[in-house]
Structure 1
Amino acid sequence: MASQFRWRSAAPRIQLFVSDLTATGVVRNAIAIANEAAASGYEVRLLTCRPDGVLRNQIRPDVTVVRLVRSAEKGRSRRFQLKQALLEYRRHCREWRPDIMFSAGNHGHLLSTFAWFGLPGTKLLRISNDLDHGDPSPVVSWWRSLKFRLISNLADRLVFVSRALGDHPLLGLHLASGKAAVIPNGVDVEGVCAASHQPCTHRWAADRSLPFVLAVGRHVKQKNLGTLLRAFAIARKSRPMRLIILGDGNMDETARLSALSLDLGIADDVDLVPATANPFPLMAAAGTLALPSLWEGSSNVLLEAMACGTPVVASRTAGDAEHVLDGGKYGLLVDPHEIDGLAAALVRQTGPDRVQPGDRVNAFSRDKTMARYVAMFDELVASAARHAPIERLA
């Protein structure tokens, strides 16, 4: 989709921020948006603390990647790296003067707000997760609400990745006022299908007589992987199966999952595999994909598995999973805390009466999503030009 900028000679500038380039949904979406903006005539820079993640080679050559933390040490937490990035982030904004400053995921919003404060340019936040996730304490809930009020008041526009986010009172107010818009995540259906046909090198993929369950996500509380392990231990008593957990995490959480597998007596049938840029051959080979998350914004993984034709099991709390699966018509929905219910769903989705995803994923194509982002960028740049029609010096 091409944009035309007849009101100025120079291409408008868009700057996007993500903390790193690891294989997460936020990063995949940020790269897709950056690539589409560049293809549509924008000058695009992608700012990140660490530019050496597995998704680095998916960025178009005409998107400039800017490293904000020069001496980022491996093993340092994301929070530490975000703190280290602030001064360089703000310096870049001040010197490059982008027309649109875009924070692509919740983890970067507070940092971005500090970096942008008092600087010209349209400020845009993509709300990728809800505010009340994880049953927080009253103090944590109060802090999250206060932080959101701060960043949302300083932003010019908000984008929610799913309709479910608008159910929160604070988020819903911005939808009602018109400051926020819903742009659901989309998936490149044809691209995922093509990538899924590449050889699957995992040792379990060749044994079609023994299905495996696949979970994709970081080793963090949000993904509810401990509950999945317990449900898998029950399910395999009804049907022999294996479990692959694809993703990275901190060493403590990975060790906890490994220890739990040993305690449950299932370690020989559980494999923790590092994240990869192309998980789709593994998705296509899986008997079912399990998404037992305690919370999500809008899960890319769910859409990608459906694009591979893989039956899915998702928690009702996994963002807009209930909408994506149309109440259970295109996959099974479970309570994330009901271990027996999740186990029964794993058994069904690896058996002959599984609920298939059909062509439901076509309703969430990336082309539709990207067209809406480009249209929004065009409108924001045109509006800014009308109100301050001063050409940037070359």
Structure 2
Amino acid sequence: MSSESRSSPDANHIAFYLPSLRGGGAERVIVNLANEFAERGYSVDIVLVQARGEYLADVSDRVNIIDLDTRRFFGALPQLVTYLKRERPDVLLSTIDTANIVAICAKRISGVSTRVVIRISNMLSTKEVNGQLKHRLVHRVARYVYPYANAVVAVSDGVADDLLEMTKLAPEQITTIYNPSVTDELLQNRTEPIDHPWFVEDQDIPIVLGVGELSEQKDFQTLIRAFDRVVQDRTARLVILGEGPRRDELEALIEEFDLVDSVSIPGFVDNPYAYMSSSDVFVLSSQWEGCPNVLIEALACNVPVVSTNCPSGPEEILESGEWGSLVDVGDHENMAKSVISTLDQQDPIDTEQYARSRFSVEEVTNEYRNLIEE
């Protein structure tokens, strides 16, 4: 990795812009894309408001890290303008709403010919209802700014439909491209050993797995309530990987249901794929998503899945239940029934090849390449 400036702009120069590389789904997607484009011979920068986050270590040495080193997202605008004037990348691809707005404004202020492609990973309508005031304000600004992008990537058809309703974007401006979630690294790491006693001892006890930020969006409360029903039917264990603001609330619920000995929340782990491939059921309990990486990753790890039919992504990814069970958001009773019936399956379907054929980093990078080279 390097933060050095080039002496001249490159013909195939792609810059990715986002706040940081903390452990989120959007950040993982950008790292996957940046590494793959660099592997193909493109000149690639990742421009960060702050060069921090768990995924920094996963960035290829062929990718340049540009640290704007500012505390505020919108405060990065002058530095991004300077970067665009100096480096003049052919494409600036941004993700996360604040970064998208800044990217569009920076291009217009700088006057460069760089094409701005923005990636939308969640539904504006859902975030506007559930988000904090500052997030709602950002989305209202986005409605009017997004049409100035050269191209818009929606991570699912559901997100694309929502954009058409919530912004002044025209249908021809939006392209649906799913997340590049299946990588060689994932396929290799899923066989690594796990530092958790439940995956080493008593392996005859089935394990239910959830992965994600401990937040309102991921709704692990419903998963815990569903698991309480599951253990009334059979002995089982629940592991939730992730960290976040709802930890205390989740731990209180675990104590309330007397599940302390059968539920584990070990926090953020570097390799969730090994946990996925060694679990008996993966559950996505989210209230809303865009295109949930963890659901695709679970399919690639060949673990049977149960997911809420939240807006949006799961129904498209699972092809209306072809590759896993779908239940209503917040319905812990039917979630429990689906987990139990999944555990009872004698011959679970093979989901790995499906995931690799549709969501591999190679296939998805081809789609981005076609878009940016139009």
TM-score, normalization by structure 2: 0.87
**Correspondences of 1:48-87 after superposition (within 5 Å):** 48-69=48-69, 81-83=72-74, 85-87=76-78
Counterparts of 1:372 and 1:287 in 2: how far apart (Å)? 33
Change (3 A) 1:142 1:212: closer
Residue of structure 2 equivalent to 1:100? 91
Counterparts of 2:320 and 2:229 in 1: how far apart (Å)? 25
Segment of structure 1 superposing worse, 279-288 or 149-158: 149-158
Q: Could you tell me whether the CA contact under 8 Å between 1:305 and 1:312 is conserved in 2? A: yes
Q: Could you tell me whether the CA contact under 8 Å between 1:55 and 1:277 is conserved in 2? A: no
Counterparts of 2:96 and 2:32 in 1: how far apart (Å)? 13
Q: Could you tell me whether the CA contact under 8 Å between 1:235 and 1:346 is conserved in 2? A: yes
Counterparts of 1:183 and 1:94 in 2: how far apart (Å)? 29
Residue of structure 2 equivalent to 1:11? 11
**Correspondences of 1:187-198 after superposition (within 5 Å):** 187-188=181-182, 190-198=184-192
Residue of structure 1 equivalent to 2:210? 215
Residue of structure 2 equivalent to 1:343? 336
**Correspondences of 1:253-268 after superposition (within 5 Å):** 253-268=246-261
Amino acid at match of 2:321: G
2:227 pairs with 1:232: yes
Amino acid at match of 1:199: P
Residue of structure 2 equivalent to 1:37? 37
2:360 pairs with 1:365: yes
Change (3 A) 1:233 1:132: same
Residue-by-residue CA offset, 1:33-63 (whole Å, 9 max, x unaligned): 1122223333211022343422222211121
Residue-by-residue CA offset, 1:63-89 (whole Å, 9 max, x unaligned): 11122226xxxxxxxxx6535544433
Counterparts of 1:68 and 1:214 in 2: how far apart (Å)? 37
Amino acid at match of 2:225: R
Counterparts of 2:349 and 2:203 in 1: how far apart (Å)? 18
Amino acid at match of 2:323: Y
Q: Could you tell me whether the CA contact under 8 Å between 2:51 and 2:69 is conserved in 1? A: no
Counterparts of 1:105 and 1:275 in 2: how far apart (Å)? 21
Residue of structure 2 equivalent to 1:280? 273
Change (3 A) 1:81 1:283: farther
User: SS at the partner of 1:186?
Assistant: coil
**Unaligned segments of structure 1, at least 5 residues:** 1-7, 71-79, 380-394
Give the drift of 1:225.
Answer: 1.2
Q: Could you tell me whether the CA contact under 8 Å between 2:143 and 2:166 is conserved in 1? A: no
Counterparts of 2:138 and 2:346 in 1: how far apart (Å)? 43
User: SS at the partner of 2:189?
Assistant: helix
Counterparts of 1:288 and 1:107 in 2: how far apart (Å)? 35
Counterparts of 1:339 and 1:9 in 2: how far apart (Å)? 54
Residue of structure 1 equivalent to 2:327? 334
Give the drift of 1:352.
Answer: 3.3
**Correspondences of 1:371-382 after superposition (within 5 Å):** 371-379=366-374
**Correspondences of 1:122-133 after superposition (within 5 Å):** 122-133=115-126
Residue of structure 2 equivalent to 1:182? 176
User: SS at the partner of 2:195?
Assistant: coil
Q: How many residues align?
A: 360
Q: Could you tell me whether the CA contact under 8 Å between 1:104 and 1:125 is conserved in 2? A: yes
Change (3 A) 1:137 1:112: same
Residue of structure 2 equivalent to 1:314? 307
User: SS at the partner of 2:250?
Assistant: helix
Amino acid at match of 2:159: L
Amino acid at match of 2:97: N
Give the drift of 1:123.
Answer: 1.3
Report % sequence identity.
26
Give the drift of 1:137.
Answer: 7.4
**Unaligned segments of structure 2, at least 5 residues:** 1-7
C-alpha RMSD over aligned residues: 2.7
Residue of structure 2 equivalent to 1:294? 287
Q: Could you tell me whether the CA contact under 8 Å between 1:103 and 1:112 is conserved in 2? A: yes
Residue of structure 1 equivalent to 2:149? 155
Residue in structure 2 matching 1:303, options 296, 299, 303: 296
Change (3 A) 1:20 1:273: farther
Residue of structure 2 equivalent to 1:202? 196
TM-score, normalization by structure 1: 0.83
Q: Could you tell me whether the CA contact under 8 Å between 2:127 and 2:136 is conserved in 1? A: no
Q: Could you tell me whether the CA contact under 8 Å between 2:125 and 2:166 is conserved in 1? A: no
User: SS at the partner of 1:240?
Assistant: coil
Counterparts of 1:339 and 1:327 in 2: how far apart (Å)? 20
Amino acid at match of 1:229: I
Residue of structure 1 equivalent to 2:25? 25
